[in-house]
Chain A
Amino acid sequence: MQIPCPWCGLRPLDEFAYGGDATKKRPTGKRQADTSAWVDYVYIHDNPAGRHREYWQHVGGCRSWIVITRDTTNHAISKAELAPPDSRGGRR
């Protein structure tokens, strides 16, 4: 498998580390979020047979975390982008 890094181009699988489901938003806010939101975020991941949005890091290259869209039934990659922010933090 080769992964198209948005910075480095098509690079071999061995240069990348997997980071899992990229559809989740990390719970934010200053109050104690309820536990089930955190359980959902940490433990319940998207696991489709088909297109999967997932994090990868180009550890053996530019070190960017990227999000790729990959079909889990045949490993074909249809999209790759730099990882967008998963929360609307803003400067605090």
Chain B
Amino acid sequence: MRYSLSSIIRNAATGHKHWPKVWRNPEPKKSYDVIIVGGGGHGLATAHYLARNHGVTNVAVLEKGYLGNGNIGRNTTIVRSNYLCPENSQFYEHSLKLWEGLSQDLNYNVMLSQRGALNVFHTPAQRDAAIRRGNAFSLNGIDSVLVSREDVKKLAPLVDCSPNARFPVLGGLLQPRGGSVRHDAVVWGFARAADMRGVDVIQNCEVTGFRIEKGQVRGVETSRGAISARKVGIVVAGRSTLVAQMAGLKLPIESHVLQCFVTEPVKPVLDTVVMFAAAHFSIVQSDKGGLVFNGDLDGYNSYAQRGNMSVVSGVAECAASLMPRLSRLRLLRHWGGINDMTPDGSPFITKTPVKGLFFNGGWCYGGFKGTPASGWTFAHLIANDEPHPFASGFTLSRFETGNVINENGAGPQPGKH
């Protein structure tokens, strides 16, 4: 059922007793043209765009648990496209453009809220680095505005802009189109849209192995039997290493835990997304009123989806110091997501040495905001056996050549990005 004003009124009048299932619950078929391993945001987006852009609808999305139980539901919901490296900036800008039309495209309101994304800087050196980045964005056609301390005060009155702050604010770099999205709605919207185009979205179906013959993928083994396909895409960020290992691939990825935090809901107090150069700390207020933030990685390999207390106190120090009015606001909950961290901080959307087997992962901090473009370009790669121009740099071979896409300049330790 398409959602429209009339369907809403009709259903309200009948006590909402007639809304259909948002997606079918099909049994897996024996064979598909394409199998997508992973029913998270990126996998479902890939299926949607395979069907929508390439007419490939004989597709199964296989999800081990329930849809969206991975990182798509464990992030701070921020979207923006202000990336320095040209490979990243064109990709994330494409993503942001897709976000901007996504609710209409999916006929599902993902609640995009473009209230701006502000990077606050504190020192002349940080200002100069921000100018470099801002100019790079502008030259790539991405909206970007340098703002003064006074502007920061107006945009985010919570931020301590006084000269007495430990790290006084000097100014900021604003992407006005940045903002946030209701993350769960992204999963459900993509799943529903893919399902409506005929894609089989299959939950509780764990892939346990890959069938590979003479270097060509033939299908997958699952907890619900073997399913064949000549094209298989792995999109399981957070568990990339483990799934790829079943196909004999070793990836330049480490799994790290990134904690997210939410406070009790309060009346609107912070309109923009704010990121600080003084510390690895970003914050946004959700539509429900909770302030959502994150800080550094815990810093060690982990699959545990939870972190330790030093990061908890670390983010609290940032919040209470950079926005002192938040001191008595109470932290409600924190949780961890498993980030695929790569040696240069940039992702993979790539073929693999196995013919017909494609890999998407290594999203570091960019996974949520990259969801639509990831699906768009991965679908292109799978459908055409050719990388999409916006993702052609995201190869596994870039470390052999040295053509890394190093967004922040850190060394090859994945946890440092």
Contact present between A and B (CB < 8 A): yes
Q: How far is the CB of B246 from the nearest CB of chain A, in Å?
A: 12
Q: How far is the CB of B400 from chain A (nearest CB, A)?
A: 5
Q: In the complex, which residues of chain B have a beta carbon less than 8 angstroms from the beta carbon of A61?
A: none
| B121 CB, nearest partner CB in chain A, Å | 26
**Please, what's the 1-or-0 string for B223-254, where 1 marks a CB less than 8 Å from any CB in chain A?**
00000000000000001011000000011111
**Which of B65-73, B179-187, B303-311 contacts the other chain?**
B303-311
Cβ contact of B304, chosen from A14, A44, A48, A72, cutoff 8 A: A72
Q: Which of A25-33, A34-42, A84-92 contacts B (4 or more CB under 8 A)?
A: A34-42
Selected from A39, A44, A47, the residue in CB contact (under 8 A) with B255 is A47
What's the Cα separation between A18 and B297 when bound, in Å? 11
In the assembled complex, A63 has its CB within 8 A of some CB on chain B: no
- Which of the residues B241, B255, B300, B304 comes within 8 Å of A18, measured between beta carbons? B300
Residues on A with beta carbons closer than 8 Å to the beta carbon of B255: 47, 49, 72
B399 contacts the other chain (Cβ, under 8 Å)? yes
Point out the residue from B250, B299, B302 that lies within 8 Å of A75, measured CB to CB.
Answer: B302
Judge if B413 is at the interface, Cβ distance under 8 Å: yes
Distance of A46 from chain B, by nearest CB (Å):
9
A residues within 8 A CB of B415?
A: 18, 20
User: How distant is the Cα of A48 from the Cα of B242 in the complex, in angstroms?
Assistant: 7
The residues of A that contact B399 with a CB separation of less than 8 Å are 39, 42-43
B254 touches A47 (CB 8 A): yes
Secondary structure type dominating chain A contacts: mixed
Query: How many angstroms between the C-alpha atoms of A14 and B415 in the bound complex?
Result: 16
Does A45 contact B252, Cβ atoms closer than 8 Å? Answer: yes
How many residues of chain A have a CB within 8 Å of chain B? 24
A39–B400 CB distance below 8 A: yes
Please report which residues of chain B, range 209-230, place their CB below 8 angstroms from some CB of chain A when the two chains form the complex. none
A73 to B254, CA, bound (A): 13
> Quick check: B254 and A20 within 8 Å, CB to CB?
yes
Please count how many residues in chain B sit with their CB below 8 Å of the partner chain's CB atoms: 24
Q: How many Å from the CB of A25 to the closest CB on chain B?
A: 16
Q: Which residues of A sit under 8 angstroms from B300, Cβ to Cβ? A: 18, 54, 70
Complex: A17 Cα to B254 Cα, angstroms: 16
A73 near B304 (CB under 8 angstroms)? yes
A31 to chain B, nearest CB (A): 19
A20 close to B413 (CB less than 8 A): yes
Query: For the complex, is A58 an interface residue (Cβ under 8 Å from B)?
Result: no
Q: How far is the CB of A55 from chain B (nearest CB, A)?
A: 10
**B301: contacting residue among A42, A52, A74, CB under 8 A:** A52
Q: Are A74 and B304 in contact (CB under 8 A)?
A: yes
A17 to B304, CA, bound (A): 19
Contact in complex: A35, B302 (CB < 8 Å) = no
Residue of B at shortest CB range from A1? B308
Q: Which residue of A lies closest to B239 (CB)?
A: A49
Residues on A with C-beta less than 8 A from B241 are 47-49
Known: A20-B415, A42-B412. A72 touches B310 (CB 8 A): no
B414 interface hit (Cβ, 8 Å):
yes
From A18, A21, A42, A72, give the contact of B303 (CB < 8 A).
A72
Cβ contact within 8 Å between A47 and B308? no
- How many Å lie between the Cα of A70 and that of B308 in the bound state? 15
A9 to B255, CA, bound (A): 28
**A23–B33 CA distance with the chains assembled, in angstroms:** 40
Please indicate the chain B residues that have their CB under 8 angstroms from the CB of A74 in the complex: 304
B272-310 Cβ-contact flags toward A at 8 Å (1 or 0): 000000000000000000000000000111111000101
Q: Identify which of A20, A21, A43, A48 gathers the most chain B CB atoms within 10 Å of its CB.
A: A43
CB neighbours (8 Å) of B304 from chain A are 72-75
A70 to B239, CA, bound (A): 18
Tell me if A13 is interfacial: C-beta within 8 Å of chain B.
yes
A13–B414 contact, CB under 8 A? no
CA distance A18 to B253 in the complex (A): 16
Q: Which residue of B lies closest to A45 (CB)?
A: B254
Query: In whole angstroms, what is the CA distance A72 to B308 when docked?
Result: 13
| B308 and A13 contacting across the interface, CB-CB below 8 Å | yes
Binding site for A on B (CB under 8 A): 239, 241-242, 250-255, 299-304, 308, 310, 343, 399-400, 412-415
Closest 4 CB pairs of A and B: A47-B241, A43-B252, A49-B303, A43-B399
- What are 18 A-B contacts with C-beta separation under 8 Å? A1-B308, A17-B299, A18-B300, A39-B399, A39-B400, A43-B252, A43-B343, A43-B399, A43-B412, A44-B251, A47-B253, A47-B255, A48-B241, A49-B303, A52-B301, A70-B300, A74-B304, A75-B304
Besides A36-B400, A72-B304, 17 other CB < 8 A contacts?
A1-B308, A17-B299, A18-B300, A21-B254, A39-B399, A42-B343, A42-B412, A43-B399, A44-B251, A45-B254, A47-B241, A47-B254, A49-B303, A54-B301, A70-B300, A72-B301, A75-B304
